[in-house]
Amino acid sequence: MRLSTVPALFLTCLSLSACASSSGPDALSAGLTSPETTSSVTGIVAPVPVADVGTGGVETTTAEARPEQNREALAWAGQVPSSDVFVPERSLSMPVPGEKPVEQVAMITPAIDPLPGKRSRVYGHRFRDAKPINFGSRSPRKMAVHGVDVSRWQGDIDWAKLRTQGANFAYIKSTDGGDHLDPMFRTNWRKAKEAGLKRGAYHFFYWCRTGAEQADWFIRNVPRDPDALPPVIDVEWNGESRCKRRPSPETVREKMQVFMDKLERHYGKRPVIYTAPDFYKDNLRGAFTNYPFWLRAVAQHPSKVYPGRKWVFWQYSGSGLSHGVEGKIDLNVFHGSVEEWHAWLEGRQS
């Protein structure tokens, strides 16, 4: 009786094991697709214009090839991106300053408490420019709140000196694609805050990766700091990349939306969109009207280059010179007064 029972039990176990293996990871990956779909936290769908595209992307290496670096980056940021992400009770959605004569677009801005800490001092700019441009009566030099954006190419920055030269804020290169971390990001992130600058991180978007992958990589490497500026998605064409994929305008905007939705859910702040004239013309005219924009315009005022578009930041030079930095640095300005700057930081309408 016992001997006949053992084979029966053995056959039953084998049968159950076969059933389990047929629904494992390999079977799931072979039978399911993973399309990018948006799930905007605001429920707002931006208009979709029709336009042409160019080439794009930056070169990266696979994340799987550097597991040790990934674990280190994950531990430093203290975050583990997953589908079960943190959803803040309040969204620190930053309003977009109005620009006359463009009609003001209503923003969804929930009532929130001010960001922690005292208001930081605003320094007047003392920057020089290796290639100065005459912007006429609408010169950025007449504006109140100036700042910079930096990456590894600025080397070791004297942040305390740079701040006194007029850098009241700094956007710092953090990541691009799904596996590249700027080698100076951690140092710049820490030292900029120590010097009293308002600082945020920007991600260079890579068109041969999904938006979800890139959002996860950004979240792994950029700490969630309530005092930081909103994260930035940098969208532009890069002809030097081996990625020659040319997504349609609809696909471009879909990938951007996936990325921005994940960041907004995680950080509780609506991302800022940085772009350049050619990419904007191809993909973004009339789109994302409920997002703040940071516009590159180094020869003319943004109203000439991006007619009808409201903006929060203007990158007006790529050839700035300043004490505290060796070589050239990008110069930027906030669209508003000192009071409007503080109001924007605190999430209040100006």
Range 214-228 average pLDDT: 97
Residues in a beta bridge with 110: none
- What's residue 76's pLDDT? 55
Residue 200, pLDDT score: 98
The stretch 86-93 carries a mean pLDDT of: 42
Reported as a single tens digit per residue, the pLDDT across 319-343 is 999 999 999 999 999 999 999 999 9
Domain assignment present for 310: yes
**Is residue 293's pLDDT more than 80?**
yes
pLDDT digit string (tens) for 192-203? 999 999 999 999
User: 97 pLDDT exceeds 60?
Assistant: no
| Residue 149 annotated as catalytic | yes
Residue 245 CB-density burial (10 A; 0-12 exposed, 13-18 middle, 19+ buried)? middle
| 48: pLDDT strictly greater than 80 | no
Please confirm, yes or no, whether 216 is among the known catalytic residues.
Answer: no
Tell whether 298 is covered by a domain.
yes
- CATH code for the domain in which residue 333 is found: 3.20.20.80
At 117 the pLDDT is 53
Q: Once rounded to an integer, what is the mean pLDDT over residues 92-117?
A: 39
17 contacts: CB under 8 Å, gap ≥ 6: none
**Tally of CB atoms within 10 A around 333:** 23
Give the type of residue at 185: F
Task: Tell me if 316 is assigned to some domain.
Answer: yes
76 domain-assigned: no
Q: By mean pLDDT, which of 90-94, 158-162, 236-240, 287-291 is the weakest?
A: 90-94
User: What is the residue range of 163's domain?
Assistant: 138-345
3-state SS string over 71-138? HHHHHHHCCCCCCCCCCCCCCCCCCCCCCCCCCCCCCCCCCCCCCCCCCCCCCCCCCEECCCCCCHHH
Q: Would you say 55 and 279 are in contact if contact means Cβ atoms under 8 Å apart?
A: no
pLDDT of residue 44: 36
Among 36, 129, 236, 250, the one annotated catalytic: 236
Structural domains in the chain (count): 1
Report if residue 204 sits inside a domain.
Answer: yes
What's the pLDDT score for residue 241?
A: 74
- What pLDDT, on a 0 to 100 scale, did the predictor assign at position 118? 75
The reply to whether 121 falls in a domain is no
| Ordered alpha helix ranges (H), 181-299 | 185-194, 211-221, 249-267, 277-279
- Tell whether 245 is covered by a domain: yes
Interval 36-43 mean pLDDT = 42
pLDDT in tens, 140-168: 999 999 999 999 999 999 999 999 999 99
Q: Which has the higher per-residue pLDDT, 114 or 298?
A: 298
Nearest one of 42, 78, 28 to 220, comparing CA atoms: 78
Q: Can you give the pLDDT at residue 4?
A: 46
Asked if 173 and 58 count as a contact pair (C-beta separation under 8 A), the reply is: no
Q: What is the structure's pLDDT at 315?
A: 98
- pTM score: 0.71
Percentage with pLDDT > 70 across the chain: 66
pLDDT over 70 (residue 254) = yes
pLDDT range class, residue 243, cuts 50, 70, 90: confident
Tell me 315's DSSP state: E
Q: For the segment 128-141, what is each residue's pLDDT rounded down to a tens digit?
A: 999 999 999 999 99
- Whose structure tokens read 């315009």? 297
Q: Is the pLDDT of residue 71 over 80?
A: no
Residue 168 placed within a domain: yes
pLDDT in tens, 20-31: 333 333 333 333
| Nearest-angstrom CA–CA distance, 344 and 339 | 9
Contact 175, 221 (CB under 8 A): yes
pLDDT computed for residue 77 by the predictor: 55
Please check the confidence at residue 272 and state whether its pLDDT lies above 80. Answer: yes
Average pLDDT over residues 285-295: 98
Q: Given CA atoms 215, 216, 217, 221 in this order, what sign does their dihedral have?
A: positive
